[in-house]
Structures are given as C-alpha cells and as structure tokens.
Amino acid sequence: EALGHIGASALVWDQAQKRVLLTVHTVTNELSFFGNHADGNPDLPTKARARVAKEVSAPFAESLTLVPKLFDVDVHYVPPHTREGQPVPAHLHYDIMYLFLATQTLGTGSARWFEPHEVLSTQPDRQMQRLLTKLSSLG
C-alpha cells in the first residue's frame, strides 16, 4: 500500500497576470487548481496539462504556455475518504505545481476565472492561500 502519491498540478494564470482559472475539486467540493496523480508518469508538466484538458477542453489546454521553471512543491495530508464507492486510506500528496499562461480567457463547466483577492478572503486551504499569494506577487 502506497504511503502517498506524486501529483502533477497546473495553476492557470491569464496572460495579463490578473486572474487565475480554478475548478471545483471532486472530493472537497471547494475551489481548486487542476491536479492529477502522476501514476508513475515522469512527464509531470504533460500530466498537469492533461488535467486541464479533461476539465476544460483539449484545445484550451494545448494553447497554454508552460512557464519553464517549477512553480511550487507542497506536501499535504489527505484524510481517509470514499472515491467512486471505494474507501481511500489517509495518505500524503506530494504536489508538484506548474504555472501555465493562458492566451484565451475561456472557462467551461465548473472552471471559472478569479482574481486572487476574490478567493483569498474565502479560501481556508493553506496550500491555496500560499499559491494565490505567490501569484499575486507576480502580477
């Protein structure tokens, strides 16, 4: 049994560096960036982009520009929960975050554009707070 998972995640920032694209997390039902278990795939940026493709659209994901350096690394505890009717034990997520710049400002489904300050005031998640604060310092 695995003690944790490596995650490949995407933080999507608009070209003007004013807004971030967020979605609703499937487990917590809270605003979230786009994340995916790496599942042994060493190409983490491609895995992160694939999550954006799945939740927004493939053409949108392909139009994103990857910022060449690693944006963030976070290790956080995931409590036990049920996923697709199956129990998932408590474990750690080793989250590798990549920053992508969007030339398009579309968002579909549960994905929406937010200015960081809109989310910071209502988001209790420590990782999200840190990432949005980091983004705000860039724009």
Whether 47 has a pLDDT exceeding 60, the answer reads: yes
Task: Give residues with Cβ within 8 angstroms of 3, minimum separation 6.
Answer: 91, 92
Beta strands in the chain (DSSP E): 4-14, 20-24, 31-32, 34-37, 65-66, 72-78, 81-83, 86-88, 91-102, 112-114
Are 92 and 75 spatial neighbours (Cβ–Cβ below 8 Å)? yes
Its pTM stands at 0.85
| Per-residue tokens: 115 | 């200015």
Amino acid (one-letter) located at 114: F
Q: How many whole angstroms separate alpha carbon 89 and alpha carbon 19?
A: 35
Mean pLDDT value across residues 31-60: 89
Q: Pick the residue with more confidence: 119 or 44?
A: 44
Angstrom distances, CA of residue 85 to CA of 4, 5, 51, 133: 20, 20, 22, 36
Q: In which band, very low, low, confident or very high, does the pLDDT at 101 lie, cut at 50, 70 and 90? A: very high
Token duo for residue 104: 């398009």
Does residue 7 carry a pLDDT above 80? Answer: yes
From CA 6, how far away is CA 84, in angstroms rounded?
Answer: 20
The pLDDT value recorded for residue 139 is 59
- Please state, as a whole number, how many other Cβ atoms lie within 10 Å of the Cβ of residue 61: 21
